[in-house]
Structure 1
Amino acid sequence: MTFVQVIEYDTERPADMDQLLDRWMESTEGKRTAFHEIHAKDRDRPNHYVDIVEFPSYEQAMRNNDLPETQRIAAQMEDLCTGEPRFMNLDVLRDEKL
């Protein structure tokens, strides 16, 4: 079953967040278990962003989370946020192309 993690956060430093994602992708090449990521900006709320990350399973997501590179980037991400990021862990029940 596919697993999705949604990360919601506010930041006034979106360019720095993009650089963090780039560094994470470089440093986890060949190790990460995430296979798809969508980065989106909320049109109605300035400085509000949502990342949607897909994994093959919950177990694979937790393995990805435990990577030292992921832990390092997550700590740096929190420093760039205004407030606490919100994480949602979702089991995909339906996935249809419309």
Structure 2
Amino acid sequence: MKFVQVIEFDTTHEEQIQSLLDKWRESTVGDRTATHTMLTRDHRRPQHYMAIIEFPSYEEAIRNSELPQTGDLAHRMAALCDGPPRFVDLDLVRDERF
């Protein structure tokens, strides 16, 4: 079963966050287990973001979380956020594309 993690956070440092995400992507080629990511910004609250990450399974998400590069990313992102991020772990039960 596919697994989705949502990370909700507030920041005024979008460009720096984008740069960190780019570096993570480059440094985890061949190791990461994430298959799809999206970074979204709240239309009404422009400093509020949600990162949506898809994995083949919960176990693969755990493997991805254990990568040193992922830990480094999380640490650096937390320093750029206005308060702690909120994590939501979801089992994907229905996926339709139109």
Given the two structures, how large is their TM-score scaled by the length of structure 1? 0.97
Distance in 2 (alpha carbons) for counterparts of 1:60 and 1:46: 31
The alignment of Structure 1 onto Structure 2 pairs a total of residues equal to 98
1:64-95 per-residue CA deviation (whole Å, 9 max, x = no partner) reads 00000000110000000000100000000111
Q: 4+ runs of 1 displaced by more than 4 Å?
A: none
Identical-residue share of aligned pairs (%): 53
Aligned mates of 1:24, 1:97 — CA distance in 2: 28
Pairwise CA distance, 1:96 = 1.4
3-state SS of the aligned residue for 2:74?
helix
SS in 2 for 1:12: coil
| Structure 1 position 97, deviation (Å) | 1.9
Q: Which runs of 5+ in 2 are unaligned?
A: none
Q: Gapped runs of 5+ residues in structure 1?
A: none
Does structure 1 residue 11 correspond to structure 2 residue 11? yes
Number of the residue aligned with 2:49: 49
- Secondary structure of the residue that 1:18 maps to in structure 2? helix
Distance, in Å, in 1 between the alignment partners of 2:49 and 2:2 is 23
- Alignment partner of 1:71: what SS? helix
Distance 1:37 1:96 in 2: 17
- Partners of 1:66 and 1:87 lie apart in 2 by 16
Q: Which amino acid aligns with 1:17?
A: I
Residue 80 of structure 1 aligns to which amino acid in structure 2? Answer: L
Q: TM-score, normalised by structure 2?
A: 0.97
